[in-house]
DNA sequence: TTTGATTTTCAGAAATTCTTGAAATTACCG
DNA sequence: CGGTAATTTCAAGAATTTCTGAAAATCAAA
């Protein structure tokens, strides 16, 4: 490996974390190199920096493209493929969220919905099915929120995040404005805004 | 494997997903069995249902305990260990979020903070360091939001989730109330609510 | 302390995933 | 068309992870 010390530490860390993030060590390191690179890199440059075989890098780049985490670029008068990570870290978060949802959540939700439809044939199945339905409903609420929030512009999203739990205060204000407009603060805020409140 | 068909499908699915979720197939299947079980199970019951070796189940249960995903229980006049999943699916989500943050995010944030402190020694390192700082700040905003929200009661959390992106409307109301009180709606709402806005 | 039930550990077997070099394919240029 | 540069595929070896049975450790009752 042929990298400045600071970058090497970063790259090795991403490699180690790779397995926890659902990618391999190699893929993690390739991504790390691309993330900090000041300009797009081609496969041979990555090979040289990391000391991996050409084919290994090719596989790794293919996987990163499948994750939408790197983009293919072309430089004038050079027919090699160059790769780069998106510049905007928020864009990267959006991609990660989308891909992880697709791989880690959607398939399970599909199975849970199917099983929730079936006719249970025994007492164990009746109980199991109600557990599966609970899980499916929880996932639906979570992914429904995600589908809404992912459409926010980055600036709004950052505003929302920095607000944190204090959004609760605002919800209380909203309760007063919409449910009891102008009325003096009712004992506590309205808590009837249950899931059914969501636009179908 | 000795299970009713509906439960078998569920268990096999959790096994397949296990590797995507950062646990092994065995651990995924053990958890699935416990999740749908109407009462706590002991290790031998799990062996029998799944056809795994006793030691494999023992390892799997140890890992699930390390994840805080199962609890150890004891039944009267029985010295075997029984295991159960928490009843409340929201509790499970909280545990998962906490553990995944601990394993997948915190170590990286630590490394990024360390590297952001160092003195860069080359132009590549200067650029790399600014990328790392961007990433660290993004993660800090995300985890800060999470630390706030995780303290909400489940009911409030569900309310927040079901509100989805419509919270943006409320943010706009808040902007008008706090920043430009009584003023006619300014071109676009206040966007200065940057991270610095967060209570230290 | 002994006994027997239960759980844990651990070394090696089995299975899976990763990595590589060589060969095949693709894409472009003259 | 060749010819060449670049990329991808693939089979097999390497490395890692998972799984098992046997042995060791733990624990409570007698």
A76-99 pLDDT, tens per residue?
Answer: 999 999 999 999 999 999 999 999
Confidence of residue B87 (pLDDT cuts 50, 70, 90): very high
Res B2: pLDDT: 84
**Which run of H or of E encompasses B112?**
helix B106-117
Res A14: pLDDT: 97
Separation in Å: C6 C1' and B61 CA: 15
Separation in Å: C28 C1' and B125 CA: 36
Nearest-neighbour CA in chain B from A41: distance (Å): 13
**Interface residue A152 vs chain B (CB under 8 A):** yes
Indicate the residue of A4, A112, A193 with minimum beta-carbon distance to B124: A4
DSSP state string for A70-94: SEEE--TT--S-EEE--S-HHHHHH
- The sign of the CA dihedral B178, B179, B185, B191 is negative
Of the residues B165, B172, B194, the best mutation for testing chain A's interface (the one with the most A CB atoms within 10 Å of its CB) is B165
* Longest pairwise C-alpha distance within chain A: 72
**Interface residue A95 vs chain B (CB under 8 A):** no
Res A197: pLDDT: 42
**Which run of H or of E encompasses B71?**
strand B71-73
Contact residues, chain B, for A132 at CB < 8 Å: 10, 36
- The sign of the CA dihedral B172, B175, B177, B180 is negative
B194–A158 C-beta distance less than 8 A: yes
Find the range with the poorest average confidence among A73-87, A159-173, B62-76, B120-134.
Answer: A159-173
Indicate the residue of B36, B120, B149 with minimum beta-carbon distance to A128: B36
Res A96: pLDDT: 95
Res A173: pLDDT: 72
Question: Hey, what are B88's tokens?
Answer: 């409340």
CA quadruple B127, B132, B133, B138: dihedral, nearest 10 = 130
Answer whether 0.95 is exceeded by the pTM: no
Our separate counts of H helices and E strands in chain B read: 9, 3
Which residues make beta-bridge pairs with A73? A82
Q: Side-chain half-sphere of A177: how many Cα atoms within 13 Å?
A: 11
- Cβ–Cβ under 8 Å, residues B149 and A165: yes
**Interface residue B12 vs chain A (CB under 8 A):** no
Is A105's pLDDT higher than 70?
A: yes
Please give the residue of chain B at the shortest CA–CA distance from A4: B125
Question: What does the pLDDT average to over A102-126?
Answer: 97
B22–A20 C-beta distance less than 8 A: yes
Res B62: pLDDT: 96
Residue labelled with tokens 């790197």: A70
B195–A158 C-beta distance less than 8 A: yes
Is A187's pLDDT higher than 70?
A: no
Query: What residues have CB less than 8 Å from B58, skipping those under 6 apart?
Result: B43
Question: Hey, what are A15's tokens?
Answer: 């490699």
B5–A36 C-beta distance less than 8 A: no
Cα gap B150→B138, rounded to integer Å: 18
Provide the mean pLDDT of chain B.
88
Question: What does the pLDDT average to over A187-196?
Answer: 40
Confidence of residue B186 (pLDDT cuts 50, 70, 90): very low
Q: Is B175 exposed, middle or buried (0-12, 13-18, 19+ CB in 10 A)?
A: buried
Phi, psi dihedral angles at B198 (to 5 degrees): -65, 145
Confidence of residue A53 (pLDDT cuts 50, 70, 90): very high
């Amino acid at each position: 490996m042929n990298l400045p010390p600071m970058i090497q530490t970063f790259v090795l860390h991403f490699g180690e974390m790779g397995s926890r993030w659902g990618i391999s060590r190699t893929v993690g390191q390739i991504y790390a190199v691309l993330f900090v690179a000041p300009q797009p890199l081609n496969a041979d440059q990555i090979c040289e920096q990391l000391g991996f075989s050409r084919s290994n890098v090719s596989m790794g780049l293919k996987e990163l493209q499948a994750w939408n985490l790197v983009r293919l670029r072309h430089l004038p008068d050079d027919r090699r493929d160059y790769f780069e990570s998106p510049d905007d870290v928020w864009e990267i978060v959006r991609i990660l969220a989308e891909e992880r949802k697709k791989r880690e959540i959607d398939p399970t939700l599909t199975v849970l919905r199917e099983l929730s439809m079936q006719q249970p044939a025994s007492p164990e199945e009746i109980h199991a099915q109600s557990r599966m339905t609970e899980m499916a409903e929880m996932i639906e609420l979570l992914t429904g929120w995600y589908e809404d929030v992912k459409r926010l512009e980055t600036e709004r999203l950052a505003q929302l995040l920095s607000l944190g739990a204090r959004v609760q205060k605002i919800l209380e204000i909203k309760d007063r404005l919409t449910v009891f407009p102008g009325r003096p603060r009712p004992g506590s805020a309205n808590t009837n805004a249950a899931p059914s409140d969501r636009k179908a």
